[in-house]
Structure formats: structure tokens, C-alpha cells
Chains A and B, each alone.
Chain A
Amino acid sequence: MFPAFSKVVTLDNLFILLKGALLSLGLAAGSLLIGLAIAILIALLRFSTKKICHIIANIYVEFFRGTPMLVQIMYLFTVVPIVISMIVGHRVRINPVIVGLIALSLNSGAYQAEYIRGGINGVDKGQKEACETLGLSRTDMMRFVILPQAFRLAIPSMVGEFVTLIKDSSLLMTIGALELFGQANKIGNIYYDYMTPETISIFYYLIMTLTISYFARKLEKRLARSV
């Protein structure tokens, strides 16, 4: 068991893994926020009266939800730079962490758009009618009445998305981003012991995801009380 346990479990290595965990957390948080911006943009497109806007929004969502995330990441890392190179005329160097952040954000945006849609659908129909009878414009109705309530309904799903992103950030190992699992693998390569660092990485993941889930449950209870 654990071929190089004592060599791997040093303060230095634990710290390296911690740095990886923080990068995973940062990637997840960053893509959650950028994804939220994308999702809001999609919600606005869907709210538009122009049909083309709906089509664009739907293509985006269906594309990113309908293809594997690993494929999206690899495609963005390997194929897209070639295309860019052909356009700009010289080789472009790209940072795997940046590519990873973009890939996670694009993907998460599609999912979060669906959560917002679910939230909007969950707002009572009477709210819209009340706005109508008071003469509020469509934009004001969305801004002051529907979206605030929709966000509240979508919060549990959004927290779930944060947890998902922490886990999915491990996929970025495949393009060489040194997030938690990437670091664990790198340490494994050095000591020819994958068992030890990868087991430790599991604990690191669990600490992150369980902590978030714990606070999510508390938040949900509080929201349930206030509605």
C-alpha cells in the first residue's frame, strides 16, 4: 500500500496540493461567475421579442449541454488555437488555466441559463398579471419582480453547479492545468506513487464539496423560511 507514503506526505507536497485545491476552487468560482454572466445574457436573449435571439440562445444551450465537457475542453485547447493561428498568421501560445477557465465558463453558462429559465417558470403567473394591471413595462417587470424571485428559486441549483464545477475542474488535468488533480498526478509522476497523492486529493475535494453543500443546505432552509 501507498508505495512512497512518507516521501509524498510532506508539508511541501501537502502545500502544493493545497495550492492545486485553491486553483480548482478559483477556477470553479471564476467560471461560476462568468457562466452567470453568460446565463443572464441568454436569459435576455430569450426574453427578447425577436425570434433570431431565441434561436441563438437555444443553439448555445443545446450545444454545450449536448456535447461532453472533456471534448469541449480538448477542442478549445487543441483545435481552436490552430484555427486562430491560421487567422492571425503565427503560432499562438495559450495558457491551459485560461483555456480551462473559458471552457468551464462556456459550459456552465449553458447549464445556469437552464436554472434561470427554471426559476423564471417557477415564479407564479399572478406576478406577471399584477405587473400588467399596474402598467409596468416588460423590462421593469423582469428587473424588479420576476428575476429577483427567479434567482431566489435558482439559488439551490446554482450552488449545486458550484460543486459540479469544482469536480469538473479536474478534467483540466488533461490539458496540463495544475489544479488539484493535476498536482496530485504530477506528484505521482515524481515519486512513482499515484495512490498517495490521489487519495489525498480525494479528501481535499470532499472537504471543499461537503463544506459548500453544508452551507447550501443552511441557505436553502433560510430561503424556504422567508418565502
Chain B
Amino acid sequence: MSNTTMIKVEHISKQFGSLKALDDVSLEVSKGEIVCLLGPSGSGKSTLIRAINGLETPESGKIYFEGEEYDKNNAAKYHQQRLKMGFVFQHFNLFPNMTVLENLTLAQIRVKKVDEKQAKDTAMRYLTRVGLSDKRDEYPNKLSGGQKQRVAIARSLCMNPDIMLFDEPTSALDPEMVEEVLEVMQSLGKEGMTMIIVTHEMGFARTVADRVVFLEDGHIVEENEAEAFFSHPQSERAQLFLSKVMHQ
């Protein structure tokens, strides 16, 4: 394992009832890399990214973060590891009982123990970054889907993560709002943020990703540099998948 490896997934499997969501999956992501997980729905890509964050616990296999294995029995360390990961959900999961600013400061104050003033400064910096500084005092229900997702991204960034995980960040958005979210993600990538992204936005994956991982039925079917994957998919299943999604 090279010292720039950030995430290492080793032979993980995850079962939901009779459904094998992940079957002996291994993956490595280096610092600064942008990896897109593609595949038809039910392929296991969401389960994989959730397992990387610890939202799902695989039945077998190991996951390493920055060289150290996840160990739920070592709660303090596991907590620290998870804190270095930002996670963005398909359905945003903003806290509806708090203003945008409170959404961004809560974990900073309660978890990172920064004082309120500093937490607000950090929050405003990231809100400005995603272009929503004027929404600081709004409640989430007053925001559009695209705005909610940008706030959710800002909320994750406030925790100063080493890596950002995106689980279908634009799938719940109206088409005209997809672009504003992708732009924020693209600019993050340009700044060198390590990212793993589950997405159905093929154009975005092609331009932004360094590497594409294609999953189907809980297996990694193909893994390649983004440009190579899209221009010359090797496996039959990837070819079939791409021919379907590219000609919608």
C-alpha cells in the first residue's frame, strides 16, 4: 500500500436478506483522486460508498482509511476516522428544524468543539463558496433542491474532511438544478479534494473523474481511466450499460 493511498477496500461482502449487494469487492483510492462509481441501479455502488463511510457494515472484508483499518471496537479512533470523511446524500438530509447557518455550525461546535464565532466564520466561508451566503438565515424548506444540496456539501466541508463521498448527489434534483451542484463538485476536484462519487451523470463522470469503477450485481466489472472507459469500454456489460445510458 503506497503512502498516498487514502481508502483501501479489501474483499468486502454485504448481504441484504437474500440479496448479495456486494460480493468480494476491492478498491483503492489515492489522495487527490476522483473516482466515479457507475452501474445500473441495484449494482451495489451505493452500498459500497456507504460501507466506505461506515453507514453499512460489511459481513466480511476490511476497509482501511489512511492506512488504518476500521475497527468498530475502537470507538474513539473509528470516530476520528469517520470525521475525516464528508458524506453527501441523495436526499440532502439537512436538519429542517435549523437554519442553514445552524446546519453548518452544529457539528463544528458540538463535535470539533470550535467556538461559535469561528464556527460561523467557517460556515460563511463555505456558504459563500457554494454561492449561498445570502441564505444563511433561511430554513431548508425555503430552498430549492439544488440549493439544499449545495448547503449539504458546505455542511460537510465545514468539518474539514480529507475526502468527500457523494451518493447520487444529483439524482433527486430537477434537471435544471443538476448543473449548479456539479459545478461545486468540479471546483472541489480542481482544488485537489479526494472524491468518490456515485452518479448517473455520465458527462460529468467523463470530464471530472480520474478513474471510473463500473459495478454490476455486487461485483466490480470494469475499472479504468475515465476517458478510456467511456471511449473503449472493455467488458460487454459496460458496453451495454453505456449504450443504454448514452442514448436516452
Interface residues of A (CB under 8 A from B): 124, 126-127, 129-130, 132-137, 140, 144-145, 148-149, 152, 226-227
Contacts and interface: CB of A to CB of B under 8 A. Distances in A.
Given A136-B110, A144-B106, A130 B55 contact: no
Given A140-B110, A149-B97, A227-B141, A135 B79 contact: yes
A227 B139 CA distance: 9
B83 to A, nearest CB: 5
Nearest to A149: B97
Given A136-B110, A226-B139, 5 more contacts: A134-B107, A135-B82, A140-B111, A144-B106, A144-B110
Contacts of A129: 55, 89, 93
Contacts of A127: 93, 95
Closest 5 CB pairs of A and B: A130-B93, A134-B107, A133-B87, A126-B93, A135-B111
Residue from the set A130, A134, A149, A152 with the largest chain B CB neighbour count within 10 Å: A134
Contacts of B93: 124, 126-127, 129-130
Contacts of B159: 134-135
Given A133-B55, A227-B141, A145 B83 contact: no
Interface in B64-108: 79, 82-83, 85-87, 89, 91, 93-98, 106-107
Nearest to B94: A130
Interface range for B:
20 to 34
Nearest to B82: A135
Nearest to A125: B93
A168 to B, nearest CB: 32
Interface of B: 53-55, 79, 82-83, 85-87, 89, 91, 93-98, 106-107, 110-111, 139, 141, 155-156, 159
A126 B89 contact: yes
Given A135-B107, A135-B111, A136-B111, A130 B96 contact: no
Given A149-B97, A152-B97, A133 B106 contact: no
A152 B139 CA distance: 15
28 contacts: A124-B91, A124-B93, A127-B93, A127-B95, A129-B55, A129-B89, A130-B93, A130-B94, A130-B95, A133-B53, A133-B55, A133-B86, A133-B87, A134-B106, A134-B156, A134-B159, A135-B83, A135-B111, A135-B159, A136-B110, A137-B110, A140-B111, A144-B95, A145-B95, A148-B97, A149-B97, A226-B139, A226-B141
A151 B91 CA distance: 22
A162 B41 CA distance: 48
A136 B55 CA distance: 14
A145 B110 contact: no
A149 B139 CA distance: 14
A136 B106 contact: yes
A26 B159 CA distance: 48
Residue from the set B85, B106, B141 with the largest chain A CB neighbour count within 10 Å: B106
Contacts of A226: 139, 141
A144 B111 CA distance: 13
Residue from the set B83, B87, B106, B110 with the largest chain A CB neighbour count within 10 Å: B110
A149 B96 contact: yes
Contacts of B106: 134, 136, 144
A132 B55 contact: yes
Contacts of B55: 129, 132-133
Contacts of A140: 110-111
A207 B55 CA distance: 52
B93 to A, nearest CB: 4
Contacts of A145: 95, 97
Nearest to B95: A145
A133 B85 contact: yes
Nearest to A141: B110
Nearest to B85: A133
A126 B97 contact: no
A130 B86 CA distance: 10
